[in-house]
Structure 1
Amino acid sequence: MVTTSPAPLSPAARALAARCEPRVNELARRMTRTVFERLHGYAELPADVRDVEITATARHGLRRFLRNAAGGEAPRPTEDGLRYFQERAHQRADEGMPLQLLLGTYTTGAHVLWQALTDAARPGEENALTELCGALIASQGRVIGAVTESYLDEQAAIAAERREQRRSLARALLEGRGTADAPAGPFLVVHLRFASRDLGGPGGVAVRRLVRRVQTALDRLFGTEVPALLNGTGGHALVPGRTELPDAATAVLREAAGQGLRLAATVAEETGDIPDAARVGTEIVRVATACGHTPGRHHLDDVLLEYHLSRPSAGSDRIAALLAPLADRPDLTATLRTHLEQRQDRRATARVLGLHPNSVDYRLARVTELTGLDLGTPKDAALALAALLLGSHSRSRYANWPGL
């Protein structure tokens, strides 16, 4: 794309700009002390920002435009000329000044300069005024673009730093490491598990979007910036000062994470209790998943027996090994699990699996033949359930969760 340099200004336009240049200090003071007061939020700015920094920026912009114009150049900002405004935009973003207020000072300032040029114009200088108006609009467009880009870049950097600080705090607390900036307990410890799907790798765009959506939902749900450690499969959120999930929590988080979301909430009274609370929440979700509970919020009471049966002990390996003969028969394992979930109702099992009841009978007979477990007895049914749960524990993606 070929760009052309703007045409030099006429002598009349140069003379008009030169007559206004001595008024730069006056115009800058008027802008910052009276005109900008009409902008919403301006009066709440610190006095040194209003009276010193913004005044200096206004003075710099006015003088640069008028001096260049008086020298005969079309006052189009160069990269060096824009750098001053970009640095000020970084400062304003760091201070938390709203972008609309910052841009309002530039657009209002341009209007004040246009009014000053209009007041200074003499009869017969209409064309000169039009030239300067065109130059002012072109210059203002470049300045506004550079200021906006720099402001948003700085805000993005600040937001990324704040997110990493929250992640670091959550990681430290989940690992049982106290930090000086950790809030006091109690904490609501929320374990989240997302539905398995291909998100294109741990650092992919889809994973970042998912984590960002869930983090935003957590912040909105609790009305604060919630420390959380999340990845593409799930994670934990730590909410200080809370002991209950809001009623809308499941719906809000499911909207962000998808219909397959599972979650469990536990309470840690002190920061040192957080790792144990996180482990319990993780186990509740794991057991509920292994037992075939539908996605959503899971409570310990929902899986109390299964939770107890799935606790590792001296006999855990031997119990889990009871189902070793089914390792290469996922159809039999699925039938066994569904049959136990359906309270050993063969017809209900057949409906869930889309099979004929006779096919269910055949598969269960093969389970008994291969494992030696008689599912018609309470003892062997309990052993089968425990073996399923212990087997899922050994395969759990959360078994080696960092810090848990």
Structure 2
Amino acid sequence: MAYEERSQPASDDRPPGLSPAAAALAARCEAQVNELTRRMARGAFEQVRGYTELPGDVKDVEIAATARHGIRLFLRGAADGSRWDSLEYFQERAAQRAEEGMPLHLLLRTYTLGARELWRALREMAGPGEQQALAELTEALFTATDQVVGAVAESYLDERVALASERHEQNRSRARALLDGRPVVDGSTPDGPVLVLFVRFGTPAATDGPSPVTVRRLLRRVQAALDRAFDTEVLAVLDGDGGHVVVPGVTEPPARLRESLRETAGPELRLAAAAATTVGDVPRAAHLTSEVVRVAAACGVRPGIHRLEDVLLEYHLSRPSEGSARIVAMLDPLDDRPELVATLRTHLEQRQDRRATAHLLNLHPNSVDNRLARIQDLTGLDLADPRDVALTLAALLLRDADTGAVTE
């Protein structure tokens, strides 16, 4: 559990010493602790939505025991001056409730309702002339409830964060094992088909890249969108650029997936999907989806859901072969001219539309013509020749594959 011992509250947080009258009132009420606990568990707590659905042992044993401990701790401390502000017990119980999945609002209301019932008992017990003693105990009860509720909420949330982090890492480990073709450690290897997705967010990054907080928020939103779209908790290995998603038992992405992810990750999102017939086929499907997205981006296909059929020729041209090195070498004369490579790539992505190329590169169309002419002079490739266009496209795709470059 995420519970760790916390320091006791500073002495300044404790109420001033109680008068003998207040101590006497608390001592008389201490004799009714068991009856008061039963009244809480069987009456007050049942007002809380969802309480009656809890397991019997949780209601009748765990919560009742915590209430009894809290009441006795407060009254005994008020009666004899012993410590009543020890929070470790409540923190441990809060972590346990979090692990069991008890809603936080329900847990906190048991404490606030318990404080109200204790105050009512003190009020009923107070006799004539004990108004000041009751006021002292009421102030002390407010202080104690504030400290306990704060500690309980903190421990509960710490435990939930730890549990979520542990589950997230377990799911990432399962996904990595499936993507790498390794056995799943926990033995939960899926049977039947597996849908593999590759997602590239394509969101513009700041000069130094997006902040870690921004990336974490994006990944949480994307995970939630994926879970909603597939109506299950999917396995994902994602970072700030994107990554792979594995969904056992599914062969096709749902129709709402693209729009759901676009709303979350932006309009530049790219996505490819491939079905693996068995878990052993997952690595192939993973490689295929990432390659389809890479080729689609390099060829200027608009962001969206990409299929292999959409980039079939380009995909074929980007496959290494015995002639790959010679094809890539055709662009070697441009190694020291990155602006010419960018112009060439953009020109091909825009289907050789010089005005569109000029607009994207913030150039005059004549400047684009001059750069294309310089490219032809250096490489000998004529972009008016369909064969040379195919060679140039293959060279760019193969260069990307060799360097792992990501081109949007």
Same fold, TM exceeding 0.5?
yes
Q: Deviations over 1:103-136 (max 9, x none)?
A: 1111111111111111111122122111111111
Q: Deviations over 1:283-312 (max 9, x none)?
A: 011111111233333222221111111111
Kindly indicate whether residue 60 of structure 2 is the aligned counterpart of residue 55 of structure 1.
Answer: no
Q: How many pairs were matched up?
A: 394
In the alignment, is the contact (CA less than 8 A) between 2:197 and 2:286 conserved in 1? yes
- Supply the distance in 2 between the matched residues of 1:347 and 1:132 (Cα, whole angstroms): 81
- Supply the distance in 1 between the matched residues of 2:144 and 2:354 (Cα, whole angstroms): 79
Q: What amino acid does structure 1 have at the position aligned with 2:126?
A: A
- Supply the distance in 2 between the matched residues of 1:31 and 1:261 (Cα, whole angstroms): 54
Kindly indicate whether residue 173 of structure 2 is the aligned counterpart of residue 184 of structure 1.
Answer: no
In the alignment, is the contact (CA less than 8 A) between 1:201 and 1:207 conserved in 2? no
Structure 2 match to 1:322: 330
Structure 2 match to 1:160: 165
In the alignment, is the contact (CA less than 8 A) between 2:76 and 2:84 conserved in 1? no
Identity of aligned residues (%): 62
- Supply the distance in 2 between the matched residues of 1:189 and 1:202 (Cα, whole angstroms): 26
Residues 356 and 76 of structure 1: CA distance in aligned 2, closer, same or farther (over 3 Å): same
Residues 349 and 67 of structure 1: CA distance in aligned 2, closer, same or farther (over 3 Å): closer
- Supply the distance in 1 between the matched residues of 2:211 and 2:380 (Cα, whole angstroms): 46
Structure 2 match to 1:32: 41
CA shift at 1:176, angstroms?
A: 0.4
Counterparts of residues 138-217 of structure 1 (less than 5 Å) = 138-179=143-184, 180-195=187-202, 197-198=205-206, 204-217=212-225
Structure 1 match to 2:387: 379
Match of 1:255 among 255, 263, 282: 263
Q: What amino acid does structure 1 have at the position aligned with 2:318?
A: S
Q: Which runs of 5+ in 1 are unaligned?
A: 399-404
Structure 2 match to 1:299: 307
Structure 1 match to 2:401: 393
- Supply the distance in 1 between the matched residues of 2:278 and 2:210 (Cα, whole angstroms): 32
In the alignment, is the contact (CA less than 8 A) between 2:108 and 2:149 conserved in 1? yes
- Supply the distance in 2 between the matched residues of 1:345 and 1:68 (Cα, whole angstroms): 84
Residues 355 and 70 of structure 1: CA distance in aligned 2, closer, same or farther (over 3 Å): closer
In the alignment, is the contact (CA less than 8 A) between 1:202 and 1:231 conserved in 2? no
SS of match in other structure, 1:44: coil
SS of match in other structure, 1:264: strand
Match of 2:279 among 251, 268, 271: 271
In the alignment, is the contact (CA less than 8 A) between 1:199 and 1:206 conserved in 2? no
More moved, 46-55 vs 278-287:
46-55
CA shift at 1:199, angstroms?
A: 8.4
Residues 347 and 42 of structure 1: CA distance in aligned 2, closer, same or farther (over 3 Å): closer
Q: Which runs of 5+ in 2 are unaligned?
A: 1-9
How large is the Cα RMSD of the aligned pairs? 2.3
More moved, 287-296 vs 112-121:
287-296
Structure 1 match to 2:95: 90
Counterparts of residues 119-138 of structure 1 (less than 5 Å) = 119-138=124-143
Q: Deviations over 1:317-374 (max 9, x none)?
A: 1111111111222232233233333444445544544444443333222222211222
- Supply the distance in 1 between the matched residues of 2:349 and 2:293 (Cα, whole angstroms): 16
Structure 2 match to 1:402: none
Q: Deviations over 1:208-235 (max 9, x none)?
A: 3332232222223322221111122221
Match of 1:106 among 106, 111, 115: 111
